[in-house]
Amino acid sequence: MSQSIVNISLVVRDYDEAIDFFTKKLSFDLIEDTYIKEQDKRWVVVVPKGSKGASILLAKASKAEQESFIGNQTGNRVFLFLGTDDFWRDYEKMIKNGVEFVREPKEQEYGIVAVFKDLYGNLWDLVQYKK
């Protein structure tokens, strides 16, 4: 048996502002942006450069209940973990691109980690694991 997580849904306020953040600030690739006429919505998928893992489905909130979770999908806990093969390269690039870090880089027994916010306030770890 073989299974994998393919997409992780991230509730967003606006497709285009989310695409802009992920592609310009985090340097992700936009791999799909398809309009679905029957549902009057877009299927928007981004992925970190070089990733062979799950992608992120940018899902625009379509009702008030969903809007209430924008930026706080996990109760203010770290939500997603962005792994890297070069922490300092990506950290410096993200700082230059205006990404807000809320916890500075720290050496841990498992690697180097820092916490940043996405455009809506969801918390992410930028992490380089030790080999």
Per-residue pLDDT band at 130 (split at 50, 70, 90): very high
* 50-64 mean pLDDT: 94
Residue 100 makes CB contacts below 8 A (sequence gap 6+) with: 116, 117
Assess if residue 37 is contained within a domain: yes
Assess if residue 1 is contained within a domain: no
Nearest to 105 by CA among 113, 93, 117: 113
The per-residue pLDDT for range 10-47, each reduced to its tens digit, is 999 999 999 999 999 999 999 999 999 999 999 999 99
The per-residue pLDDT for range 105-117, each reduced to its tens digit, is 999 999 999 999 9
State residue 57's pLDDT score. 98
Q: Could you tell me the residue range of the domain that residue 113 belongs to?
A: 7-129
Average pLDDT, the chain: 96
Report the CATH number at residue 12.
3.10.180.10
* 65-78 mean pLDDT: 93
Nearest to 21 by CA among 5, 44, 53, 54: 44
Assess if residue 2 is contained within a domain: no
**Contact by Cβ (8 Å): 113, 83:** no
Q: Would the pLDDT of 131 be above 90? A: no
Assess if residue 51 is contained within a domain: yes
Q: Would the pLDDT of 56 be above 90? A: yes
CA 68/CA 91 separation, integer angstroms:
30
In order, the DSSP letters of 11-63 are EES-HHHHHHIIIIIS--EEEEEEEEGGGTEEEEEEE-TT--S-EEEEEE--S
pTM: 0.93
